[in-house]
Amino acid sequence: MRVRIFLAAVVTMIAGSALATETDQPSVPTAKPTAQATPSKPAPSQAPAESTSPPDRIIFEDLGKLYCVGNVLCPEHCAKPDQGCQVKAVYTQKLNQFSRISRIQLYAHDNVGLTRRTDLLLVRVDGRDLGRFPVYRAGSTISVPVNRNGQLITIEATYNRNGLLLGGEQAAIAEGAVISEIYVFGRDAR
């Protein structure tokens, strides 16, 4: 019996001290969460972390000159006094150093011959084709995505295989396209 009274007194003391301890301190959950919280996207008002790579800049520009790129009608077109262009079978430009090129931008028109078709510009970096881009009669700015390292830029005129000459016969070679305002955007390769 004494043991029971003693145990009851001990249990009451322990319970009393535990109750006093609980009221003085915030409660701690006994179960651990089973899933971790997923990180949330930053709120629109928060600024995104700044990129460690430098921004793209103009690494080459060829301004103020007109180049007629093509084989057939460019010599005749550039010989006209009001044109003031330079004939090139293929436009090439070697950059001063190997660079990370993000894009090439240029202005082009194909108001050179009498056809109703669109010439195409084939753009390459270090011999690798980046695509064929249409050149319109009235002219437009062409932006060529590159996103690669390189040094040698090549632009040549090709023809639209579906294009027809005014007389209805199939076009065989590009008449020519006039290009100008050439920019190369990127940064030095590291």
Domains with residue ranges and CATH for the chain: 57-188 (2.60.120)
Q: What is the pLDDT of residues 15-51, one digit of tens each?
A: 555 444 444 544 444 444 444 444 444 444 555 555 5
Digit-coded pLDDT (tens) for 80-125? 888 889 999 999 999 999 999 999 999 999 888 676 555 789 999 9
CA atoms of 77 and 68, how far apart (whole Å): 8
Query: Which residue type does 63 have?
Result: L
CB 69 within 8 A of CB 121: yes
Taking the model in full, what pTM does it have? 0.64
Q: 62-72: buried (b, 16+ CB within 10 Å) or exposed (e) per residue? A: beeeebbbbeb
Q: Where would I find the beta strands (DSSP E) of 31-176?
A: 57-62, 67-69, 86-88, 91-109, 119-125, 128-135, 140-159
